[in-house]
Structure 1
Amino acid sequence: MNLRYILSFLNIMKIPGLYPIMKDWRAFIRMHFIFSAHESGLLKALSTPSNRDMLIKELNVKRPEVLDALLEVGLASKELELNNGLFSIKGKRSKAIMESNGDMLAAMIQGNVTYYSDAYRNVTNRIHGGELGDDLDKIGDLVARFSKIAEPIIKNFISSIVHGKNPMRILDIGCGSGVLLKSAYDSNGNATGVGIDIDEKVVRQAGENISTWGLSDRFEIRHGDIRHISGEMGTFDVITLYNLLYYFDKEARLSLINNLRDMLLPTGVLAVAMSFHSKGKDMATANLNMVNSSLKGLTPLPQLDDITSVLKKCGFGKIEIHRFMPGSTFYGIVATQN
């Protein structure tokens, strides 16, 4: 290679900020490759090493040049490898997505490439008064899938509340995948109750999961809006709200929590787990807040004091705060009336 070219390249790399941006750019490309390879079925097809013709047939490819381009990105990003004409999965990230817990990892990537990315792409229009995103009803199933990643934390939180108590009737509002109900049952075999969600796709997912886990005789999964059917559900020992209160504005939160207090037995517990406004100290939460502020039907993340204040107004006399992770504004709140 000509020395002049090498020197020119080295001078280019001296541009302030170029190297870290290049690293971020490569990560950006890798994430988009994994998204496309998962969505298109390429990763699944490569669970068995396959040549190009096999992939074209397996994936019903009509534009081979697009598949070729995707395969090339996979090789360049080291997520794929090619040996003796056979493509196979090489990268740790792509391999992880194909493992038993891979669906929640795939959902994380899908969320970042789709609606998280949309919040940033459209920020210029929206800060000048443009329409907010209107696809909240399309992302519930995706959110439920990647929310499973917090299960170990939430399981410990719920376990501390329900362990050893009998009876234990639970209402899980915004039940997502139903994993919170399973966690409650794992900690207390006396647990029964109801999971409710406003998203029909999520309700189907939760119902299938509860059935698969053999818990259909313990928990009922219902489709509906808790604001409209709360009076017909009876009373509960525990009511849980997981990443839900930012779907309600300040006035609606007050009304909701008042109604939930009336649904609790005198010794009952209201358990809240959610991300709160980080004031720039937690990147994950700041990113979530960006999305919340960009979609119709969501509100910016509240501050922790905002929610504890509402709980006090609604008659909860004892409020315990649980900090789940250092440096994070993902908290749990346990509220009781006495």
Structure 2
Amino acid sequence: MWRRTLKAAFGQPDATAHLLFLRDSQTVTRIHFLHAAAHLGVLAELKSPSGQEALASKLGITRSQQFGLFLKLGVSLGELADDAGTYRLKGRRAKALVGPNGNVLRALLDEQIEYHGSVYRELAEQLRGGPLGDYLSATAAVVAESSRIAEPVISSYVTDVVTGAGPTPRVLDIGCGSGVYLRAASQNAGATGQGIDMQPASVELTTKNLTDWGIGDRFHVTQGDIRKGASEADGPYDVVLLMNNIYYFAPEQRPALFETLRSLVKEGGTLTLVSMFHGTSPTALNLDLVLACTQGCYALVSPEELAPELRAAGFRNVTVDRLVARESLLGIRAS
């Protein structure tokens, strides 16, 4: 019988495509399972093995049949193990979601399902002239957290730039978020400076973080909008940072932005800009599409587009650095 079944399966038109879709559907199922398991608290509780009944009691779950199926799905996917009715974490992804970097990975799942999923669900309407989506109002915190997945790479780059700026450089971080790149700048023991952010919550968070990191005497943060000028910036600076936020500036705003930033950079200093740029990888093109469909965001640009704008603002030398192999996460240094 199995031979007849196999023959029938491979007798389908585009049999290979059928198999590929089945494989892809399992990946989607895994993502949905991990997303739900993280939000339910299942993964956190299973850091210590537990039976279904005890686990359900801790999590306030009352539908035992459905919960049992959910746990069996986790076992089938290899994310959970069932040792004679006692469940525990097994898969690397499940373990990582409750590990030291779990917040970032959980935010990455949330961004894919809640933000990107909404974009694709509404894409047909948008492409036919419907309004762009107001996605960030509900997902801004998730996006900010998930973007930290590139933090180690970008922080290392910032540290290198600031270290090369001399023994006592002044550093300005535009849109400083949590202040993590000021922390990277502080690896140069003589560095001082400030961050600027539009959001009061970010200013409060950065202020707390700078104190907790022991660098509050060297760096401070101010609320402000760089698009309205440089009055809060207290320049000039040896290094000005623009990290992962160029796509929040409309193309027509960029020339004035770069002129303002040029006025804040000392002669011989550097504007350092990091972003995903327009590229051909699925990661870059997906982000490009998502941003282009989101109110208040703009499609990714290419370094070739930015270089003339930077030179027109008064920067003479523009250098492009690739930060990740085969991806368009780039650093631009303009001096």
Q: Distance in 2 between the 1:290 and 1:137 partners?
A: 18
Residue in structure 2 matched with residue 105 of structure 1 by the alignment? 105
| Count of aligned pairs | 333
Q: In 2, distance between residues paired with 1:222 and 1:81? A: 49
Q: Distance in 2 between matches of 1:203 and 1:42?
A: 34
Residue in structure 2 matched with residue 315 of structure 1 by the alignment: 314
> For residues 56-67 of structure 1, what are the structure 2 equivalents within 5 Å?
56-67=56-67
Instruction: Map Cα deviations across residues 122-180 of structure 1 (whole Å, 9 max, x no partner).
Output: 11111001121102133332223222222332233223321152322211112233221
The farther-off stretch of 203-212 and 96-105 is: 203-212
State the 1:264 CA deviation. Answer: 2.1
Please report the TM-score for the alignment, with normalisation by the length of structure 1: 0.90
SS for the counterpart of 1:332 is: strand
Residues 1:196 and 2:199 aligned together: no
- Contact persistence 1:140–1:201 (CA under 8 A): no
Shift of 1:115: 0.7
**1:100 Cα shift?**
1.2
Amino acid at match of 1:71: L
Using the TM superposition, name which of 195-204 and 250-259 deviates more. Answer: 195-204
CA contact (8 A) 1:140 1:202 kept: no
Counterpart secondary structure, 1:326: coil
**Residue 250 of structure 1: how far off its partner (Å):** 1.5
Distance 1:282 1:3 in 2: 40
Q: What do residues 28-78 of structure 1 show as CA deviations (whole Å, max 9, x unaligned)? A: 110111111111211111111111222222212244444334323212211
User: Per-residue displacement from partner, 1:73-111 (whole Å, max 9, x unpaired)?
Assistant: 212211111113211111111111222122222222221
Q: Which amino acid in 1 is paired with 2:84?
A: N
TM-superposed CA distance for 1:311, in Å, is 0.4
What amino acid sits opposite 2:299 in the alignment? P
Contact 1:141–1:201 under 8 Å retained in 2: no
Q: What residue is the counterpart of 2:297 in the other structure?
A: 298
Match of 2:269 in 1: 268
Which range is displaced more, 248-257 or 154-163?
Answer: 154-163
Distance change in 2, residues 1:319/1:88 (3 Å): same
SS at match of 2:216: coil
Higher mean alpha-carbon deviation, 163-172 vs 23-32, is at: 163-172
1:132/1:294 contact within 8 Å kept = yes
2:173 aligned counterpart, secondary structure: strand
1:94 is matched with 94
Relative to 1, partners in 2 of residues 1:20 and 1:243: Cα closer, same or farther, differing over 3 Å?
same
Q: Which runs of 5+ in 1 are unaligned?
A: none
* Counterpart-to-counterpart distance in 2, 1:297 and 1:121: 19
CA-CA distance at 1:118 after TM superposition? 1.7
Q: Tell me the residue number matched to 2:119.
A: 119
Q: Is 1:26–2:33 an aligned residue pair?
A: no
Equivalence for 2:160? 160
Distance in 1 of aligned mates of 2:325 and 2:22? 30
User: Partner residue of 1:325?
Assistant: 324
In 1, distance between residues paired with 2:150 and 2:135? Answer: 24
Distance 1:234 1:196 in 2: 11
Q: CA deviation at 1:9?
A: 4.4
Fraction of identical pairs, as percent: 32
The one-letter code sitting in structure 2 at the alignment partner of 1:326 is A
Tell me by how many angstroms 1:241 deviates.
Answer: 0.7
Match of 1:255 in 2: 256
Q: Aligned equivalents of 2:51 and 2:5: distance in 1?
A: 37
Per the alignment, residue 68 of structure 2 pairs with 68
Give the whole-Å Cα distance in 2 for the aligned partners of 1:208 and 1:57. Answer: 37
Superposition RMSD in Å = 2.2
Moved more, 195-204 or 316-325: 195-204
Asked if the contact 2:31–2:109 (Cα under 8 Å) also holds between the matched residues in 1, the reply is yes
The aligned counterpart of 1:334 is 333
Alignment CA distance shift 1:226-1:233 (3 Å): same
- Render the CA deviation track for 1:259-282: whole Å, top value 9, x for unaligned: 11112222321101111111xx22
1 CA distance for matches of 2:106 and 2:28? 15
Instruction: Give 1:41-60 correspondences, 5 Å limit.
Output: 41-60=41-60
For the Cα contact (< 8 Å) 2:9–2:15, is it kept in 1?
A: no
Larger mean Cα displacement after TM superposition, 129-138 or 212-221: 212-221
TM-score (norm 2): 0.91
